[in-house]
Amino acid sequence: MANAKIETVTPIRDRLLALAALAAVIAGLVGFYLLSDYPLVVRVSSVLAGVAVGAGIGLLSEPGKRFFDFGRESVREARKVVWPTRRETFQMTGLVFAFVLLMAIFLWATDRGLEYVLYDLILGWRK
């Protein structure tokens, strides 16, 4: 436990960068509404520019760098996934449908059996 990494309080620089990034995103959103007389492309570009600038500012902070590294590592891990072939996909889908059909028949038969036992034999309601 002596080598446990201790998370320290975020330095003031990182907090200021986070505030600046948030301000950039908010500025892009405000621009969307202030540019209501302009075409939609310009308004959406305002939002995208605000998000891009906010992301750029955010990446300068230590949490932003860690987030970027996490994203890069996630993409690297996703590339290692081995997807099933088309044939394997159809086979497994067929097995799932067959199992669902068998379970539906089993549950229907169980329901009808219990209905017969309870209503006809025990209670005698259907004569």
What pLDDT shows up at residue 52? 95
Number of domains making up the chain: 2
Cα distance between residue 53 and residue 33, in whole Å: 18
Task: Kindly indicate the confidence band of residue 8, based on its pLDDT and cuts at 50, 70 and 90.
Answer: low
pLDDT over 90 at 32, yes or no:
yes
Indicate whether 53 and 107 sit together in one domain: no
Indicate whether 72 and 22 sit together in one domain: yes
Indicate whether 18 and 72 sit together in one domain: yes
The DSSP call for residue 89 is: H
Per-residue pLDDT tens digits for 42-71? 999 999 999 999 999 988 888 888 989 999
Indicate whether 64 and 119 sit together in one domain: no
What pLDDT shows up at residue 44? 95
Say if 64 falls within a structural domain: yes
Indicate whether 74 and 54 sit together in one domain: yes
Q: State pTM to two decimals.
A: 0.52
Say if 100 falls within a structural domain: yes
Q: Residue 20: is it exposed, middle or buried by C-beta count within 10 angstroms (0-12/13-18/19+)?
A: middle
Q: Residue 123, CB half-sphere, CA atoms under 13 Å: how many?
A: 8
Roughly what angle, to the nearest 10 degrees, separates helices 62-78 and 12-34?
Answer: 80
What pLDDT shows up at residue 120? 87
Indicate whether 73 and 116 sit together in one domain: no
Say if 4 falls within a structural domain: no
What pLDDT shows up at residue 62? 87
Ranges of H-type helices in 5-127:
12-34, 40-58, 62-78, 86-115
Domain that holds residue 59: 12-78
Indicate whether 16 and 74 sit together in one domain: yes
Per-residue pLDDT tens digits for 71-116? 999 999 999 999 899 999 999 999 999 999 999 999 999 999 999 9
